[in-house]
Amino acid sequence: GAVVSQHPSRVICKSGTSVKIECRSLDFQATTMFWYRQFPKQSLMLMATSNEGSKATYEQGVEKDKFLINHASLTLSTLTVTSAHPEDSSFYICSAHGGGKDYGYTFGSGTRLTVV
Amino acid sequence: SQQGEEDPQALSIQEGENATMNCSYKTSINNLQWYRQNSGRGLVHLILIRSNEREKHSGRLRVTLDTSKKSSSLLITASRAADTASYFCATDATDSWGKLQFGAGTQVVVTP
């Protein structure tokens, strides 16, 4: 089946630094990937849609200069949290659609970001 | 904004019992999907039901969809301790392909 590899799985960074999270589709091409954010014991909130070869589209309330998305190839999308602050600490998950019409979306394993 | 509401928020059952959780949504959808998430992990796709389907089965899972009521249910039969996880419904709306809107989730604990 479709596999999406996401790393790192955990990262701790200092306030003010930037962190890059990678999301790769391993056995399929994904022209579109999605980035979600999840706070503890809460649901997933869509942050942005990553489009290969074009600019990402961001959901309302998500700062595009804060969360930089690059989708330079059909198998790789990256999310960079710039000038991270403790309130950016969260669980970030990417997803892509790689199967047939009866398949849902394949999610990465998530990245736990802690900003100290 | 969050599309769906799920109930119950938490469910505690014993092995062998059935677990039922419900999901309601607000907009017109292409399909509705159910996912499982183990603590601190990514999501695993369980089952997808299209808007023109009313019921679907996959192993011990049974999903129903009532588009007139904008609601869905997930039934896990003969639950196992390994079923302990959070379960989320997600809708794929007709006007926003791929932008899944997730429900709040149901935390299921199955005790041996």
pLDDT in tens, A23-80: 999 988 888 899 999 998 889 999 999 988 889 999 999 999 999 999 989 999 999 9
CA distances from B30 to A70, A113, B92 (A): 28, 33, 6
Residue B4 pLDDT level (bands cut at 50, 70, 90): low
| Pairwise CB contact (< 8 Å): B48 & A103 | yes
Q: How far apart are the first and last CA of chain B?
A: 37
User: Alpha-carbon distance A34 to A77, whole Å?
Assistant: 9
- pLDDT per residue as tens digits for the range B14-45: 999 999 999 999 989 999 999 999 988 889 99
pLDDT of residue B84: 97
| Pairwise CB contact (< 8 Å): B100 & A105 | yes
Q: How far apart are the first and last CA of chain A?
A: 37
pLDDT of residue B1: 36
Which residue, among A43, A45, A51, A60, would best test binding to B if mutated, counting the most B CBs under 10 Å from its CB?
A43
Q: Is residue B103 classed as helix, strand or coil in its secondary structure? A: coil
pLDDT of residue A99: 57
pLDDT more than 70, % of chain A: 94
